[in-house]
Amino acid sequence: MAVEMSDNTTAPLLVAARGGVPARTPVWFMRQAGRSLPEYRALRAGTSMLDACFDPEMVCEITLQPVRRHDVDGAILFSDIVVPLKAAGVDLDIVPGTGPVVAKPVSGRADVDALPVLEPEQVQPVADAIGLLNARLGDVPLIGFAGAPFTLASYLVEGGPSRNHERTKALMHADPDLWHALLAKIADITAEFLRVQVAAGVRAVQLFDSWAGALSERDYRRFVLPHSKRVLESVTDVPRIHFGVGTGELLPAMREAGADVVGVDWRTPLDVAVRRLVAAAPDRPLPVVQGNLDPALLFAGEEVVRAEVDRIVEEGRAAAGHIFNLGHGVLPDTDPDMITKAVEWVHRSR
């Protein structure tokens, strides 16, 4: 589906996202804001994660920190995928060292019926942060984001981080009607959260379906794809990036969800990913991809990182556009100087 873009900038990230030829290969890193930066840890000391997410000045400053330090081509809004759930009234917390923890996990019809809708004013602090950021970012595009319905459902059903997603998969198969009702409600919240961010001025969005790779393609198509597709269709005027971990087998199905850019983790080389995406839709234009340096390799030394950057840039030439990124988020102990160097090498690569 052609997307109407109101943003006529030459910002490399946005040019690449539309399949154009940017002045340099754009690069940003998932989880670039936060944990790996000493200036982030200093600023966050004494403030809980969720309090930080609802403090516009703090969101603005944390979002800017990696842009100042690394010369990245995109700023990712500092927030979390559970922020819209919290704002809408779901009782949850982000526990240091663990992640999101839900007080009363969803298990039956009454729990699904009780899920609230998100009113735009409940995430006004996020919109305010975006306003501050746009005044301070210059031409570096701000990327908004939200959690995809499946990944958010996993936190709501499991009650917290989960390795196997067993309660989630049990619900999906044992009571498909309830499952679809749950995902439809989450999709409404996610779509509203993205609409608020776009209205406030983000110039691209990423839909994080981090845990979708836990599903078979069959289950993804039946239980998840229609809901993610509906969310992506609800965002109309900025490029949309769609990302998951371990999704090599799901790439063709994910393309059907309709995003402008498909994120690829480190397990699938970008040229292989492009072949799979093309085979799934031979009549559509060549896809645009984002990825896919293994975040663990930032610990392997300069020579390794430099060679990986070259390989990935080369493999990315198979696509209509390539936004360089990691295959998943920056790991907490990563040396920030290695991130700065990787950015420099990506920029020098063409």
User: How many Cβ atoms sit within 10 Å of the Cβ of residue 45?
Assistant: 7
Candidates 35, 136, 180, 306: give the one binding ligand 1CP (CB under 6 A): 35
How far is residue 168's CA from residue 157's CA, in Å, rounded to a whole number? Answer: 6
The DSSP element (H or E) to which 339 belongs, if any, is: helix 336-348
Counting residues that bind ligand 1CP (by CB under 6 A) gives: 22
Candidates 30, 200, 224, 319: give the one binding ligand 1CP (CB under 6 A): 30
- For the question of residue 203 being annotated catalytic, the response is no
Among residues 7, 18, 24, 31, the one annotated as catalytic is 31
Decide whether 30 or 277 has the Cβ nearer to ligand 1CP.
Answer: 30
Among residues 73, 155, 255, 260, the one annotated as catalytic is 155
- One-letter-per-residue 3-state SS of 212-262: HHHCCHHHHHHHHHHHHHHHHHCCCCCCEEEECCCCHHHHHHHHHCCCCEE
Decide whether 161 or 285 has the Cβ nearer to ligand 1CP.
Answer: 161
State which of positions 267-326 bind ligand 1CP (CB under 6 A).
none
For residue 317, the minimal CB distance to ligand 1CP (Å) is 26
- For the question of residue 40 being annotated catalytic, the response is no
For residue 285, the minimal CB distance to ligand 1CP (Å) is 27
- CA 275 vs. chain centroid, Å, equals 23
Respond yes or no on whether the N-terminal peptide bond of residue 292 is cis (omega within 30° of 0): yes
Q: How far apart are the first and last CA of the chain?
A: 30
Show the binding pattern over residues 156-185: x = contacts ligand 1CP (CB under 6 A), - = does not: -----x------------------------
- For the question of residue 35 being annotated catalytic, the response is yes
The DSSP element (H or E) to which 102 belongs, if any, is: strand 99-102
For residue 137, the minimal CB distance to ligand 1CP (Å) is 14
> 85 burial class (0-12, 13-18, 19+ CB within 10 angstroms)?
buried
- For the question of residue 348 being annotated catalytic, the response is no
199 DSSP assignment: H
How far is residue 139's CA from residue 81's CA, in Å, rounded to a whole number? Answer: 25
Decide whether 79 or 318 has the Cβ nearer to ligand 1CP.
Answer: 79
How far is residue 244's CA from residue 229's CA, in Å, rounded to a whole number? Answer: 14
Candidates 37, 106, 129, 145: give the one binding ligand 1CP (CB under 6 A): 145
Report if residue 34 touches ligand 1CP, rule: CB under 6 A.
yes
State which of positions 48-107 bind ligand 1CP (CB under 6 A).
49, 76, 78-81, 94, 96, 99-100
275 DSSP assignment: H
Among residues 40, 44, 209, 230, the one annotated as catalytic is 44
Q: Which residues pair with 92 in a beta bridge?
A: 102
For residue 133, the minimal CB distance to ligand 1CP (Å) is 13
Contact residues toward ligand 1CP (CB under 6 A) are 30-35, 49, 76, 78-81, 94, 96, 99-100, 145, 151, 161, 208, 210, 329
**Active-site residue numbers?**
31, 35, 44, 80, 155
